Amino acid sequence: MDKIILEDFYVESVNTLNTLHWAARGRLKKKYVEAVMVAMYSPKPPIKKAKKEQKFELHYLHIRKKRRMIYDHDNLVSGSKMLQDSLTDMKFIYDDDIKYIGKPTHKQVAGEENMIIITRQPQTP
Number of domains, the chain: 1
pLDDT digits (tens, 9 = 90+) for 56-108: 999 999 999 887 788 888 988 999 999 999 999 999 999 999 999 999 999 99
From the CB of residue 74, how many other CB atoms can be counted at a distance below 10 Å? 11
From the CB of residue 87, how many other CB atoms can be counted at a distance below 10 Å? 26
pLDDT of residue 15: 87
- Annotate 6-23 with b (16+ C-beta within 10 A) or e (fewer): beebbbbbbeebeeeeee
CATH number of the domain enclosing 43: 3.30.1330.70
pLDDT digits (tens, 9 = 90+) for 1-27: 899 999 999 998 888 899 999 999 999
Determine the structural domain holding residue 33 and report its residue range.
2-122
pLDDT of residue 26: 93
